[in-house]
């Protein structure tokens, strides 16, 4: 860590986000900035190594969204980090659409929502909270190869096909690593 | 109760944002129908958030410039930057007009960018007595997004394809050798699959179809369809 001297708990970030939402508290926003700005930059740099200027631009854009959209954040559904991750992911999707990869006439605006979706109810919120806890507990127990596959998908923004090519593994192997990892994180699928 | 869902790694690619937009369109349409996958997709976002939060910052080793922080703070006061308007909610979408059989179809929210009003407002091209197709868009990567509309009991043309094919049932149902597919079901076919879907006899069937590569209809009877489809897609 280079900018945050004191490690904060997830609850403190959530409290700060609520202060921003309810009181437009700039000190709270400043604390969020110090914590999330390096994470947001690292997120862009994972997908675009060496693109420091792009990383600054995207991180700046997401932080301004945090300020403006804080009133839509619902703490009963997601931690501050989960909510800010969805903003970062959506910014990445927008960027990719404007630049090569996703070039498309499809507007991503209605394809990805932030948590919660508008129909979220208290039961759903309880489920979300529980699954987030399970994910958090399970993540540190994952074998390195499974964790690496997840990191490439989530942080570097690669599809399973691209991960397989990069690691020179059969596509089936990458898929099964991701599936095993998700199974351990209690992401079960109905077939 | 839906029986056909996207595979977990498809939902993971969706949650991470790496899924192509045309595939994401099908997943988003499925999520509008499927609470189970919505829940799963939210959990997959938690997975991403966890990885995001635990990124190694030393790897990139530079600190945040104070100037950047000041710049962001100065932008907070910029009154010309409007607050994002709230996204259109599902209920704001106009319900489509009742069709000839009296049913009002609801256009999924994620398709409202292509369909203003009802399915009937699209330019449907008849490709056989029982099949009509309306192209929604064609992406630069060669994938095509279209709706198919088949009469009750109608046979879908026998076709082979060279890339993945995604189908999302929007209205009605159809079946093939593997089973029956109902409203909301998500079907992913890989290249090489040969299947002969037939629409159930009780109602017409409207599907969202995403083709990674142009389909090739096979067989004597349907070979003539190819030029028509290509023409249709080329100007979609
Ligand atoms: Zn589902």
Q: What is the pLDDT of residues B94-132, one digit of tens each?
A: 444 444 444 578 899 899 999 988 999 999 998 888 999
pTM: 0.84
Pairwise pLDDT comparison (B10 vs B88), residue with the higher score = B10
The pLDDT confidence band at residue B177, using thresholds 50, 70 and 90, is confident
Same-domain check for residues A17 and A56: yes
Same-domain check for residues A126 and A185: yes
Question: What distance in Å separates the CA atoms of residue A42 and residue A179, rounded to the nearest whole number?
Answer: 26
> What is the predicted pLDDT for the residue at A112?
86
Same-domain check for residues A87 and A123: no
Residue A69 lies in a domain: yes
- CB–CB contact B63 A30 (8 Å): no
Q: How far is B129 from chain A (nearest CA, A)?
A: 30
Same-domain check for residues A84 and A119: no
Q: What is the mean pLDDT of residues B150-176?
A: 83
CATH number of the domain to which A113 belongs: 1.10.10.10
Q: Among A34, A97, A186, select the one facing B21 at the smallest CB separation.
A: A97
Same-domain check for residues A91 and A127: no
The pLDDT confidence band at residue B205, using thresholds 50, 70 and 90, is very high
Residue A30 lies in a domain: yes
Q: How far is the CA of A76 from the centre of ligand 1 (A)?
A: 24
Q: How far is A165 from chain B (nearest CA, A)?
A: 15
Point out the least confidently predicted range of A29-38, A45-54, B150-159. B150-159
Q: What is the DSSP string of chain B?
A: -------HHHHHHHHHT-S-HHHHHHHHHHHHH-HHHHHHHHHHHHHHHHHHHT--STTT--PPPHHHHHHHHHHHT-TTSPPPPPPPPGGGSPPPPP-TTS------GGGTTT-SS-GGGS--EEEETTEEEEEEEE-TTS-EEEEEEE-TTPBPPPEEESS-EEEEEEES-EEETTEEE-TT-EEEE-TT--B--EE-TTS-EEEEEEESS-EEE-STTTTTHHHHHHHHHHT-
The pLDDT confidence band at residue B168, using thresholds 50, 70 and 90, is very high
Same-domain check for residues A170 and A90: no
Q: What is the mean pLDDT of residues B130-144?
A: 84
Same-domain check for residues A171 and A126: yes
> What is the predicted pLDDT for the residue at B88?
40
Question: Does A6 reach chain B within 8 Å, measured CB to CB?
Answer: no
The pLDDT confidence band at residue B222, using thresholds 50, 70 and 90, is very low
Residue A55 lies in a domain: yes
Q: What is the mean pLDDT of residues B133-145?
A: 83
- CB–CB contact A103 B141 (8 Å): yes
CATH number of the domain to which A32 belongs: 1.10.1740.10
Chain B neighbors of A182, CB-CB under 8 A = 8-9, 12, 44, 47
Tell me the domains of chain B and their CATH numbers: 8-83 (1.10.10.1320), 109-232 (2.60.120.10)
Residue A77 lies in a domain: yes
Same-domain check for residues A30 and A89: yes
Segment A133-155, tens digit of pLDDT: 888 888 888 999 999 999 999 99
Q: What total of structural domains would you count in chain A?
A: 2
Same-domain check for residues A123 and A172: yes
Asked whether the predicted pLDDT for residue A121 surpasses 90, the reply is: no
Residue A3 lies in a domain: no
B:58-97 residues touching chain A, CB 8 A cutoff = 59-65, 68-69, 71-73, 75-76, 81, 83-84, 86-90
Last residue of a domain, one of A54, A83, A100: A100
Same-domain check for residues A44 and A80: yes
Same-domain check for residues A131 and A67: no
Point out the least confidently predicted range of A25-29, B27-31, B65-69. B65-69
- The overall average pLDDT reported for chain B is 78
> What is the predicted pLDDT for the residue at A33?
95
- CB–CB contact A157 B18 (8 Å): yes
Segment A180-190, tens digit of pLDDT: 998 888 665 54
Residue A18 lies in a domain: yes
Print the domain residue range for A185.
108-190
Segment B36-61, tens digit of pLDDT: 898 889 889 999 999 999 898 764 44
Residue A1 lies in a domain: no
> What is the predicted pLDDT for the residue at B219?
43
């Amino acid at each position: 860590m280079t900018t945050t001297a004191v490690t904060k708990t997830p609850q403190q970030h959530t409290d700060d986000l609520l202060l921003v939402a309810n009181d437009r508290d700039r000190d709270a926003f400043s604390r969020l900035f110090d914590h999330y700005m390096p994470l947001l930059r690292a997120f862009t740099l994972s997908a675009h190594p060496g693109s420091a200027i792009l990383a600054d631009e995207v991180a700046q854009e997401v932080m301004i969204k945090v300020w403006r959209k804080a009133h839509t954040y619902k703490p009963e559904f997601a931690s501050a980090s989960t909510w800010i991750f969805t903003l970062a992911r959506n910014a990445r999707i927008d960027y990719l659409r404007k630049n090569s990869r996703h070039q498309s006439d499809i507007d991503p605006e209605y394809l990805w929502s932030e948590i919660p979706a508008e129909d979220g109810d208290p039961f759903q919120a309880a489920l979300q909270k529980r699954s987030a806890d399970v994910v958090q507990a399970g993540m540190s127990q994952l074998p390195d190869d499974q964790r690496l596959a997840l990191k490439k998908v989530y942080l570097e923004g690669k599809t399973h096909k691209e991960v397989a090519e990069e690691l020179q593994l059969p596509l089936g192997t990458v898929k099964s690593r991701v599936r095993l990892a998700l199974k351990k994180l209690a992401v079960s699928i109905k077939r | 109760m839906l029986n056909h869902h996207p595979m977990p790694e498809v939902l993971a690619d969706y949650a991470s944002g790496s899924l192509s937009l045309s595939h994401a369109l099908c997943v988003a349409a499925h999520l509008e129908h499927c609470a189970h996958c919505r829940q799963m997709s939210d959990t997959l976002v938690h997975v991403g958030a966890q990885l995001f939060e635990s990124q190694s910052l030393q790897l990139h080793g530079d600190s945040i410039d104070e100037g950047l922080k000041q710049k962001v703070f100065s932008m907070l006061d910029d009154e010309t930057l409007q607050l994002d308007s709230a996204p259109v909610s599902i209920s704001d979408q106009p319900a489509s007009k009742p069709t000839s059989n009296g049913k009002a179809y609801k256009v999924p929210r994620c398709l409202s960018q292509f369909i203003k009003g009802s399915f009937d407002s699209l330019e449907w091209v008849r490709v056989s007595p029982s099949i009509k197709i309306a192209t929604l868009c064609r992406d630069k990567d060669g994938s095509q997004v279209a709706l198919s509309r088949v009469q009750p009991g109608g046979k879908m043309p026998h076709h082979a394809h060279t890339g993945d094919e995604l189908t999302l049932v929007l209205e009605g149902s159809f079946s093939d050798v593997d089973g029956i597919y109902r409203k909301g079901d998500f079907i992913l076919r890989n290249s090489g699959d040969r299947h002969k879907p037939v629409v159930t006899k009780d109602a017409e069937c409207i599907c969202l179809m995403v083709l990674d590569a142009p389909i090739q209809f096979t067989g004597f009877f349907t070979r003539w369809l190819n030029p028509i489809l290509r023409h249709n897609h080329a100007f979609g």
